[in-house]
A and B are shown apart, each in its own frame.
Chain A
Amino acid sequence: MSEHAHPTVKTFVAVWAALLVLTALTVFVATLELGPFNAIVALTIATVKALLVLLFFMELRYSTALTKVAVVAAVFFLFLLAGLTLSDYLTRGWSSYINPFH
């Protein structure tokens, strides 16, 4: 197989620096009072970091379409697990007689 374009050491160091900066950012934002947005910002930053690791360090950019599909599938099924389970928890209060969390 022909060698795909390899990330250079410079790219790796740049990603590393970005990851550290984003970590500092997420700690900083956590000290602010943003209500529900605290969680959203924190998870967004975490996802950006995760994508950096996946795409650059793990070279998912250069992987086969099959590999990408596999990773997306895993995330999808995880969302299914959490989402459909939540469909139970979030709607329990709708029936007046079942409410386990007062």
Chain B
Amino acid sequence: MSDSETAVQNLKHHFADLEQQKATSTFGMWLFLVTEIMFFGGMFASYLIYRLSYYNAWVAGSQTMEIQYGAINTAVLICSSLTMVLSVHSAKLGKRKMTAICLILTLVLGFAFLGIKGVEYYGHWVHHEVPGLNFHFEHTGNYDPRHVEIFFSLYFAMTGMHAVHMIIGAGLLTWLLIANARGRFSSEYNSPVEMVGLYWHFVDLIWIYLFPLLYLISHHHNG
């Protein structure tokens, strides 16, 4: 299908031209990301309040995290952001095969992230660090172990919500792969790829903050 054919096919009736449609979709996606900032923000605010109040318990909780998993996952997401941005780039150049390859790589990296997260969650389960289910914390310091349970509550809530968003992202990537395979995108019309890209990068952004806040609070044991 030629570029102009995909363009005409994809112009919705209530827009004057593709340019208005693209500008509208882009702004709409950014506004959606604004709502996501506020959504995660509630949890970040809760985290902040408790960290200031129960710092030692926060340190104790953070020290149970396995930094290597968190660091590798951060790297995995950063790589997936690169492959995502390359798939958008390829789509804008009309390179269907390259777009597909980059999308698949992004998807694979996303699953890698989720897999590592699953390993971590299992580890927490084994160590009795899951609030409400089997929480039991050996406390050896100047803090209340009940507060460590709050830390873990927020840990699971924040990383869990992040993981849910990644799963949704994986679904969106799959949809893009199918649409791309059907030749729906071209150098004239490729905004869905770009929009999913924005979403994917945003999910990466959340993790960029989650990693230091949850894993790196204090990496030297002070009792």
A contact set with B: CB distance below 8 Å: 1, 6, 9, 12-13, 16, 19-20, 23-24, 26-27, 30-31, 33, 38-39, 42-43, 45-46, 49-50, 53-54, 57-58, 63-64, 66-67, 70-71, 73-75, 77-78, 81-82, 85-86, 89-90, 101
Contact = CB atoms under 8 A, between A and B. Distances in A.
B205 A31 contact: no
B133 interface: no
A6 B86 CA distance: 12
A35 B201 CA distance: 32
Contacts of B30: 63, 67, 70-71
B78 A19 contact: yes
Nearest to A43: B212
Contacts of A42: 212-213, 216
Given A1-B19, A12-B86, A26 B27 contact: no
Q: Which 9 A-B residue pairings sit nearest by Cβ, starting from the closest? A: A30-B216, A42-B212, A78-B41, A74-B37, A74-B34, A16-B82, A82-B45, A19-B78, A30-B219
Contact of B23 (A13, A16, A64, A77): A64
B44 interface: yes
B198 A81 contact: no
A4 B99 CA distance: 21
Contacts of B216: 26-27, 30, 38, 42
Interface in B171-208: 197-198, 201-202, 204-205, 208
B49 A78 contact: no
A81 B75 CA distance: 31
